[in-house]
Amino acid sequence: MDKQTNTLMEESKKKPVTMTGAQAVMESLVNEGVEILFGYPGGAIMPVYDALYSYKEKLNHILVRHEQGAVHAAQGYARATGRVGVSLVTSGPAATNAVTGIADAMIDSTPVVVISGQVGSALLGTDAFQETDVVGITQPVTKWNYQITRADEIPWAFARAFYIARSGRPGPVLLDITKDAQFGSLEYLYKPTVSIRSYTPYPIIDPGQVEEAARLINLAKKPLALIGQGVVIAGAEAELKEFLEKTGIPAAQTLLGLSALPSDHKLNVGGLGMHGNYGPNLKTNECDLIIGIGMRFDDRVTADTRRYATNAKIIHMDIDPAEINKIIHADAPILGNVKDSLPMLTSRVSNNEHEEWLEEFRACYRIEYERLIERELYPEKPELTMAEVVRRVSEAFNDDAIMVTDVGQHQMVAWRYFKFRQSRSVITSGGLGTMGFGLPAAIGAKLGRPDRPVCLFVGDGGFQMTIQELGTIYQSKVPVKIVLLNNNFLGMVRQWQELFFDHRYASTELINPDFQTISKGYYIPSVEVTKRDDLDKAIKKMVSAEGPFLLEVVVEKEGNVFPMVPAGASVEDIILE
């Protein structure tokens, strides 16, 4: 950063400083503690990029290869660090490319701020070159969005954007800045937003609701806690553990709730939902109490809601009033931040143990192990399974890497067989199920947490949706470990075709390129494994590599992910094979 810029910053803390809108964007980002941006330049955002040139030392800009990747990378950064991820894109096609990432961040409650350039305000609505109504387009998939048409709105809009993105239930915010607002000048003075009168991010917890929930917990004989990402977002992992250990209640996790509780915790009974573990699904309808903690009863968790938790009272703890009674009626809702409500609940419940009930989950696990897990992890057939690869990789990282996945069969398998010791170790596209999420998200995660290994599992389908981000990995030297589980199929769709569409494999077989040659083209070291005997050595090579590495494993062509709750069925109809 040059001297002039430094002086500007110091002065702006005390009294207004005259600067351009583009400079004010930089200053606002610095004021919000931003250190890294993921972006792609273009016409309508050029003044901001020009300002960025003077802020190279304060703001690390990662040049991606596609704007969708810019947002996914910001999401990966946000999910790994808990901080707001930032993307910078131009107008028109760039902004529309960003929409998939924004929608993904919305449904998975990820704090990101996307800054898009816009044509000059005089041209708005005239179908100008690269003009698109990005505020209109992103309205349903942003927590808030705003079009800045005057330079003097910038500090206010940025303060608001960051406050809204990170507070309460986090989400994406889009700021669309017209080119004249970037060029214009203003008297810059930054005041962080501390409240908005029309927005209540942290509802005040009603002690009566906590009291009622505690009463239900103290009466319950067969309770089950469902852990969602809300626990991770709130940073309430310790509070969760205290609550569970005092009550002895078994806990199962949603897709995004995984890693809130260590894999080997004695009360951790596994994963929920369509490809979750046998016990948590099967036992749901035996439960007399379900405690949803920072989760939203997604349809992939509940399956048929009319036949869900049929014998149970429901406690639903969530920060978002719109989630209460949305899918499942709550007998005892607790509205509020689980970081605060969990300790209130813990102080009101009795010490308890549910040893016999826990034993039932262990028995379910033994059945699942004997009938399914064992042959997935230690197959007798020559073909490699996804599960054995995932488990070997997990072990090679001492079960303590950040696991990023793409979407599909490999995602479910990675989620089932990877192990975790600490929170914020699962980064995957849950609600939107965005193929192509994995590679850019892994880049963001690694840049956010350079101290932790980041391991991406990706399928051959999703890999090719954002494969150009290998260029970002090369240019920015991001040491991401990529495990490509290649079955030359769009495996999850093929599995459904096999099970529900009479083996009619319509457009699911992929005639793939040579991924080794592609990797070589991007100067990323790689190894291809086709035989079990070569697997461990290749994994070792990947783990010990200094920089990025691509491990391609050719796995069985027509493997299926089990257990499975078939679409439209009840959780208790879960099948093991």
Partner 1 sequence: MRQEFTLTIFSENRVGILNQITTVFTRRHINIESLTTSESAIEGIHKFTIVIYSTREEVDLLVRQVEKRIDVLKAYSFSQDEIIYQEIALYKVPTAALFEGNEIEKLVRQYGARILEMTAEYAVIEKTGHKHETQELFDKLDPYGVTQFTRSGRVAINKLKKEPLNSYLRKLVKNGVNPDVKIDTQ
Which residues are designated catalytic? 67, 129-130, 179, 492
Those residues with Cβ within 8 angstroms of residue 545's Cβ, 6 or more apart along the chain or in another chain: 479, 481, 525
3-class secondary structure, 17: strand
Q: Which of 198, 351, 517, 544 binds partner 1 (CB under 8 A)?
A: 198
Output 151 or 413, the one with its CB closest to partner 1.
Answer: 151
Q: Assess 144 for contact with partner 1 (CB under 8 A).
A: yes
Q: Which range in 138-146, 307-315, 346-354, 378-386 contacts partner 1 by CB under 8 A?
A: 138-146
Report d(CA 176, CA 154) in Å as an integer: 10
Beta carbons of 520 and 450 less than 8 angstroms apart:
no
Q: Which range in 143-151, 397-405, 409-417, 540-548 contacts partner 1 by CB under 8 A?
A: 143-151
Q: How far is the CB of 305 from partner 1 (least distance, A)?
A: 13
Q: Which range in 193-201, 264-272, 343-351, 464-472 contacts partner 1 by CB under 8 A?
A: 193-201
Q: Taking CB under 8 A as the criterion, which residues in 162-181 touch partner 1?
A: 164
Q: Assess 194 for contact with partner 1 (CB under 8 A).
A: yes
Q: Which of 140, 382, 450, 568 binds partner 1 (CB under 8 A)?
A: 140
Which of 414, 409, 440 lies closest to 425, judged by CA?
414
Q: Taking CB under 8 A as the criterion, which residues in 95-114 touch partner 1?
A: none
CB-neighbour burial class of residue 413 (10 A; exposed 0-12, middle 13-18, buried 19+) = buried
Q: How far is the CB of 146 from partner 1 (least distance, A)?
A: 8
Q: Residue 563: is the preceding peptide bond cis (ω within 30°)?
A: yes
Q: Which of 58, 63, 82, 156 binds partner 1 (CB under 8 A)?
A: 156
Q: Taking CB under 8 A as the criterion, which residues in 230-269 touch partner 1?
A: none
3-class secondary structure, 118: strand
Which of 121, 141, 359, 340 lies closest to 250, judged by CA?
359
Q: Which range in 195-203, 446-454, 499-507, 558-566 contacts partner 1 by CB under 8 A?
A: 195-203
Output 131 or 406, the one with its CB closest to partner 1.
Answer: 131
Q: Assess 143 for contact with partner 1 (CB under 8 A).
A: yes
Beta carbons of 257 and 231 less than 8 angstroms apart:
yes
Q: Assess 503 for contact with partner 1 (CB under 8 A).
A: no
Report d(CA 45, CA 117) in Å as an integer: 4
Q: Assess 195 for contact with partner 1 (CB under 8 A).
A: yes
Q: Assess 139 for contact with partner 1 (CB under 8 A).
A: yes
526-529, strands of its sheet edge to edge: 426-427, 402-405, 454-459, 481-486, 549-554, 526-529
How many residues belong to the site for partner 1 (CB under 8 A)?
Answer: 25
Q: Which helix (H) or strand (E) holds 469?
A: none
Inter-CA distances, 75 with 23, 86, 466, Å: 25, 8, 15
Q: Taking CB under 8 A as the criterion, which residues in 306-325 touch partner 1?
A: 320-322, 324-325
CB-neighbour burial class of residue 18 (10 A; exposed 0-12, middle 13-18, buried 19+) = exposed
Q: Assess 136 for contact with partner 1 (CB under 8 A).
A: yes
Report d(CA 386, CA 555) in Å as an integer: 6
- The alpha helices in 220-276, defined as continuous H runs, are 229-234, 237-247
Instruction: Count other Cβ atoms within 10 Å, centred on residue 370.
Output: 11
Q: Which range in 12-20, 135-143, 280-288, 380-388 contacts partner 1 by CB under 8 A?
A: 135-143
Q: How far is the CB of 34 from partner 1 (least distance, A)?
A: 21
Q: Assess 326 for contact with partner 1 (CB under 8 A).
A: yes
Q: Which of 135, 499, 510, 545 binds partner 1 (CB under 8 A)?
A: 135
Q: Assess 196 for contact with partner 1 (CB under 8 A).
A: yes
Output 198 or 350, the one with its CB closest to partner 1.
Answer: 198
Inter-CA distances, 189 with 4, 9, 56, 152, Å: 17, 10, 22, 10
Footprint of partner 1 on this chain (CB under 8 A)? 135-136, 139-140, 143-144, 147, 156, 160, 164, 193-200, 204, 320-322, 324-326
